[in-house]
Structure 1
Amino acid sequence: MSNQTKVILLNNRPEATPEHSDFKFIEETVPEIETDQVLLKSLFVSVDPYLRGRMRDIKSYIPPFELHQPITSAIVAEVIESKNDRYVKGDYVLGNLPWKTLLIADGASIQKVKKMDMPLSAYLGVLGMTGLTAYFGLEDIGKLKEGETLVVSGAAGAVGSIVGQIGKIKGCRVVGIAGTDDKINTLKKDFNFDEGINYKTTDDMRKALAQVCPDGIDVYWDNVGGAISDAVLFHINQFARIINCGAIADYNEKEMPTSMSPQTFLIKNSALMQGFIVSNYQKQFLEGIEQLATWLQQGKLTHKETIVEGFEHIPQAFIDLFNGTNTGKMVVKI
């Protein structure tokens, strides 16, 4: 096997929507592995909206990417060579790893995964960060009750599509917000959502929400922020729970956008609004994976992936996230 690896670096810090010039491809020589290390071949690379935040040089819950250094994300890889007692050639592993075709990792930075009756890429989606995000956000903050109305923005994406399905498992009425009629059809046909709103063809989101949520909104899963989330506030019920998972509408803004103040709505409804990140629940990940896998095996949960093939297409796949190109999890197959 060639000892050369392809690498993708962060070339510039994007000011708005990322462009191809913000990424740089190089090749480098892979050194010999040392004791406790493994040589990995990347199989599937996850691209996620939160990576956009790491391209900014600002304080956040996770350090920013360094300029002219490899970008990292969740990757499923195959062990090609091992000097670590925990791994042998042919094992499949998952880790937060650099965008490289071949790479070296220590045993502490990866975990072994099993090949099941579904693609290994599932560990980047429904059985990975996105599925766990949906599970723990709803369990800990959403606290769904049977018969409640759950509204999900970014509903056709990796997290939103799982959120809606868990809502149905819990006996809720689920409404999804997405950006095309095809996605709305997918939400209802494949993910069992009760209703959907195409925000791109809706002139009055407040009115649209009133029509599909006649009993108000008990739980709102917020993936987008911005005007859509402002409109939801007018319909929240007493003791509503608003789960702030993402704000993709604002990620590429050059300046911090202004938005409607939520305090009045929260106070008069005794409502909760809480942000979170999935790593808050790291000690409980095994519990979450086991429950998600059980629902999959029972046929109560399904998942979709948008697969892009080719290492060279990772930047475009990432950029496409902000154009709403994907349905379900966006994954690049190497």
Structure 2
Amino acid sequence: MTDPVNRRVLLTARPDGIPAAKHFAIDEVAVPEPDDGQVLVRNHWLSVEPAMRGWVSLESNYSAPVPLGAVMRSFASGRVVSSRHPDFQPGDYVTGMLGWQDYAVASPETLRRIDETDLPLSTSLGVLGLNGVTAYFGLREAGRPRPGDTVVVSTAAGAVGSCVGQIARNMGCRTVGIAGGPAKTGLCRNEFGYDAAIDYKAGHDLDTAIATACPDGVDVYFDNIAGPISDAVMRHLAVGARVVICGTVSVTTWTPPPLGPRVERHLLAKRATMQGFLATDWTDRFGEARSALAAWIREGKLTYKEDILDGLEQAPGAIGGLYRGDNLGKRLIRLVDEQQEGPRAE
């Protein structure tokens, strides 16, 4: 039997803007061996994040850039195949920053053992992973929604936005999603339960559409996009509104910074607040978020959609697809067909 190899996606060129397949290469090396205190994980699922654009850029960011020639940084979930640490055993399912590769050696402090064995392993990278906890803390802690508030979410059909809308609904809010195209606005209404959905690609006047959907103004705006869509929402803020800055995916580069309308007058006149945040601000409370999110899934109060690409060779071009809007749901790379491995232990 041929010994397994470790296929890895390496960053080989520094992108000027959105990463593309040409900036990466796939190589093959021997499967690494864990040292004392480490474990070897066979990755089953790899995550694709909009934040990866910042991770490979030399522009100022909240994390150090991925070095050229290094494995692409990525959250991943998989199964422990060998362990030299007493707290982890072969067969345990874990998630962590394991990179775009088939196998990864990791220290236990960088891993989370996955306890939600009744839910698909892939959820550990989406609704129960960084996307879900981002939605949970961003909305609850920065947005501070109250029952009856109108909550507007941009990229409302995406992995974070769809979760935000459903959490807001579960908290008694009226929800309005902004998404691109009839397929995504249909998802907002029919699967994610938004009270209204605005298609920004439909050619309608966005100001009129927002005013119609939000006759009493916008109490909470969860902003995943920045740019002209957010400029339009700002004009409809209610008194005391909270604007939550989660992402800026519509801006392809911040060098030089793009020019646009000033927001200060809107914030002043409406006595509104604007706050940026990172989910890692609440790392010590991630367990709280996952517990609440998992309970909502089991109760049928939180649904999710996944956009699955099969095979490691799909990874290099996967980030660009996010920025083109190709995906419907959380984008994932599947490396292992779990149905062939049988059910996970309960």
- Determine if the TM-score, normalized by the shorter chain, exceeds 0.5: yes
- 1:54 CA displacement: 1.3
Residue aligning to 1:162: 163
* Closer, same or farther: CA 74–212 of 1 in aligned 2, 3 Å: same
- 1:253 CA displacement: 6.5
3-state SS of paired residue (1:72): coil
Task: Report 1:64-213 matches (<5 A).
Answer: 64-114=65-115, 116-213=117-214
Does the CA-based 8 Å contact 2:241-2:273 persist in structure 1?
yes
Does the CA-based 8 Å contact 2:245-2:277 persist in structure 1?
yes
CA distance in 1, matches of 2:226, 2:274: 12
Query: Which range moved further: 202-211 or 136-145?
Result: 202-211
- 1:315 CA displacement: 1.9
CA distance in 1, matches of 2:283, 2:309: 29
Amino acid at match of 2:157: A
Residue aligning to 1:273: 274
Task: Report 1:37-48 matches (<5 A).
Answer: 37-48=38-49
- 1:212 CA displacement: 1.2
Does the CA-based 8 Å contact 2:46-2:99 persist in structure 1?
no
3-state SS of paired residue (1:146): coil
Task: Report 1:178-327 matches (<5 A).
Answer: 178-252=179-253, 255-327=256-328
Deviations 1:253-284 (A, max 9, x none): 66421121111100111101000010000011
CA distance in 2, matches of 1:269, 1:57: 37
Does the CA-based 8 Å contact 1:202-1:208 persist in structure 2?
no
CA distance in 2, matches of 1:97, 1:117: 23
- 1:2 CA displacement: 2.4
Does the CA-based 8 Å contact 2:32-2:103 persist in structure 1?
no
Amino acid at match of 2:37: D
- 1:160 CA displacement: 0.1
Does the CA-based 8 Å contact 2:72-2:100 persist in structure 1?
yes
CA distance in 2, matches of 1:62, 1:38: 25
Query: Which range moved further: 278-287 or 322-331?
Result: 322-331
Deviations 1:130-167 (A, max 9, x none): 11001101111111111111110000000000000011
CA distance in 1, matches of 2:182, 2:298: 29
Does the CA-based 8 Å contact 1:222-1:243 persist in structure 2?
yes
Amino acid at match of 1:41: R
- Number of corresponding residues: 334
Residue aligning to 2:56: 55
CA distance in 2, matches of 1:178, 1:58: 28
- 1:33 CA displacement: 2.2
Residue aligning to 1:12: 13
- 1:99 CA displacement: 1.3
CA distance in 1, matches of 2:212, 2:24: 44
* Closer, same or farther: CA 118–90 of 1 in aligned 2, 3 Å: same
3-state SS of paired residue (1:7): strand
- 1:3 CA displacement: 4.5
- Let me know the Cα RMSD of the aligned residues: 1.4
3-state SS of paired residue (1:136): helix
Q: Percent identity?
A: 39
3-state SS of paired residue (1:141): helix
Q: Which consecutive residues of structure 2, in runs of 5 or more, have no partner in the other structure?
A: 336-346
Residue aligning to 2:344: none
CA distance in 1, matches of 2:243, 2:259: 19
Does the CA-based 8 Å contact 2:20-2:319 persist in structure 1?
no
Deviations 1:175-218 (A, max 9, x none): 10111101111111111101111111134211211111111110
3-state SS of paired residue (2:201): helix
Deviations 1:96-144 (A, max 9, x none): 1121111211222112113523210101111111110011011111111
Q: Which consecutive residues of structure 1, in runs of 5 or more, have no partner in the other structure?
A: none
